């Protein structure tokens, strides 16, 4: 990871990528596993004398062809059932959805790189750093010029709101009690990441 991280850090230092607010630049450092995601491109070979062998390929057809070229026509292949972790898959998102690896794809040429990514500050080191590292590695370009980080809405105990924790507040209830303008103002005030918003259920 070190060579990837060095290029991502250099992009920030040279001003190719700007993080807003700038104080979060210090959080720039290098998960979870899902049952879905980008499958690992490894196929295991089933056949005589090659139980532990594997093939790396872009497709099942390519894997089977490589395996049979090497071990004969009596072998079969099966893909590793595992997937890349959440943050690795997310790191590929800016370009993998645009026709990559075809760098001449219409969507890729039109939308990559983009101007701005807006996200919460707590995933700067989980997600954004990886997006920049993978973007530079596979396309030679940072995926966006600016990263705008917004604040978080927290409960009265300082925890992020989460369905799992059961501490989520329905904004319609807040509007009913305090009004739409009060909610809008509070959220706008907190978008800079300078403060944490605290809402307490009544």
**In the predicted model, what is the mean pLDDT of residues 95-99?**
91
What is the tens place of the pLDDT at every residue in 47-70? 766 556 888 998 899 999 998 898
Radius of gyration of the chain measured on its C-alpha atoms? 23
Confidence of residue 34 (pLDDT cuts 50, 70, 90): low
For the chain, domain boundaries: 2-35+84-150, 42-79, 153-198
DSSP-assigned states of every residue in 152-167: -EE-TTSPBP-TTTT-
pTM, whole model, 2 decimals?
A: 0.59
CA atoms of 46 and 94, how far apart (whole Å): 36
Task: Give strand ranges (E) for 41-162.
Answer: 42-46, 54-56, 76-79, 114-120, 144-150, 153-154
CA atoms of 174 and 143, how far apart (whole Å): 37
- The kind and range of the H/E element at 40 are none
Confidence of residue 195 (pLDDT cuts 50, 70, 90): very low
- Pull the structure tokens for residue 131: 């997006």
């Amino acid at each position: 990871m070190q060579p990837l991280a060095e290029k991502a850090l250099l992009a920030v230092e040279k001003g190719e990528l700007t993080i807003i607010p700038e104080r979060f630049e210090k959080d720039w450092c290098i998960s979870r596993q899902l049952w879905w995601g980008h499958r690992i491109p490894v196929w295991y070979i089933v056949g005589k004398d090659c139980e532990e062998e594997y093939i790396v390929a872009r497709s099942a057809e390519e894997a089977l062809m490589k395996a049979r070229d090497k071990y004969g026509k009596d072998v079969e292949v099966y893909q590793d059932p595992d997937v890349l972790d959440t943050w690795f898959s997310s790191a590929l998102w800016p370009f993998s959805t645009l026709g990559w690896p075809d760098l001449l794809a219409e969507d890729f040429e039109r939308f990559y790189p983009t101007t701005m990514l807006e996200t919460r500050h707590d995933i700067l080191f989980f997600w954004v750093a990886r997006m920049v590292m993978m973007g530079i590695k596979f396309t030679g370009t940072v995926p966006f010029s600016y990263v705008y980080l917004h604040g978080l809405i927290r409960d009265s105990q300082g925890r992020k709101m989460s369905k799992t924790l059961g501490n989520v507040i329905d904004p319609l209830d807040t509007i009913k009690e305090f009004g739409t303008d009060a909610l809008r103002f509070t959220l706008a005030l907190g978008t800079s990441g300078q403060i944490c918003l605290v809402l307490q259920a009544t």
